[in-house]
Amino acid sequence: MKAPTRLTGPVTTMMDLTKAWLAGKLARNRDLKDELGDEKAGSRETACEASIRSYASNVDIYSTLNSSIDGLTNEEAAERLRLYGENKQLDIEAVTWKSIALDSVFNCYSILLVILVMISVAIPDRD
């Protein structure tokens, strides 16, 4: 078993390590408290996560989508149908094995490799 390396500098004892760890933890908690407010200070939730959580409440979702807990009214549904159109899947072409083979052979990386092979064959060796 390898002996632990002795620390040098300002942090030399286990007590100093503990104090440094606690000081860093307290500083992070202070920053978090400033950023999120006192109620989130003990958690590891970041400001981004807190804003996402605030958007996830039902009231915000309903107001953002202009809806309610009961859903859309018939008038609102007809208006959205007129504005956005029907909700249908777009027609997608079938992928054939030929197109997959051509795409795998004639892609940028393969073409670059062919060009580099031609250059290396064209340039003579230094011998």
Range of the domain at 65: 57-87
Domain assignment present for residue 117? The answer is no
Is residue 94 domain-resident? no
Domain total for the chain?
1
Q: What is the pTM of this model?
A: 0.29
Token pair for 4 = 């632990």
Compute how many other C-beta atoms are within 10 angstroms of the C-beta atom of residue 32. Answer: 20
Decide which of 57 and 87 is more confident.
Answer: 87
Q: Looking at beta carbons, which pairs linking 87-92 to residues 24 or more positions away fall under 8 Å?
A: none
CA distance 6 to 103: 58
The answer to whether position 68 is within a domain reads yes
Residue 34 and residue 40 in contact, taking contact as beta carbons nearer than 8 Å:
no
In a domain, 75, yes or no: yes
pLDDT digits (tens, 9 = 90+) for 1-11: 445 444 444 44
Task: Quote the CA–CA distance of 64 and 48 in Å, as a whole number.
Answer: 19
Q: For residue 73, is it within any domain?
A: yes
